[in-house]
Structure 1
Amino acid sequence: MAKLAFLGLGVMGYPMAGHLRAAGHDVTVYNRTTAKAEAWAAQHGGAFAATPRAAAEGCDFVLACVGNDDDLRAVVTGPDGALAGMKPGAIFVDHTTVSATVTR
């Protein structure tokens, strides 16, 4: 199974990450509210990370499901963003409803 990072544990992200874990994937989650990430890890047996970068390190896929353009930029870019931790060849999948500009 694949090694995955899931960024954003809101109404949609929490169960989506859980289904991926239930399917046998190695899932590490990140959420701005650490307590929610800890609760997910306790419930599903996965791991949680303190930053998007740490969650993404070594993963085959990084999935994001956050609120909007600014939230997506915050978890993807910058020194602690997912892109800084992704290995060559890893695939980024965005489930966020964002503008076409941010997607490009």
Structure 2
Amino acid sequence: MSTTIRSIKSLVPLLDRVLVQRIKAQAKTQSGIYLPESSVKELNEAKVLAVGPGGIDKEGKRVPMGVAAGDRVLIPQYGGSPVKVGEEEYQLFRDSEILAKINE
């Protein structure tokens, strides 16, 4: 059974989930040399597209999220739940699985 999602904006994470899209590695060096696809690796860097409202602790209080939409984050190489919308690929992680927030 497959689900068709028409737009990524219609996907709203629940609880402490974070929807991210990996940032693609550059296929061209700073000096202008194009790299073959086999040598370009996936980056562990992603952009946060949407976040859930936060988990609930033992006392029933909402735990605030550590990241917000628009943040750049460091994510694990493996893990997360893949979501495909058209040709684009996204991933859902728990807030606690996000490794770091990248401040510019």
Pairwise same-fold verdict (TM > 0.5): no
Larger Rg: 2
What TM bracket, shorter-length normalisation?
under 0.3
> TM-score of the superposition, structure 2-length normalised?
0.24
User: Greater share of helix residues, 1 or 2?
Assistant: 1
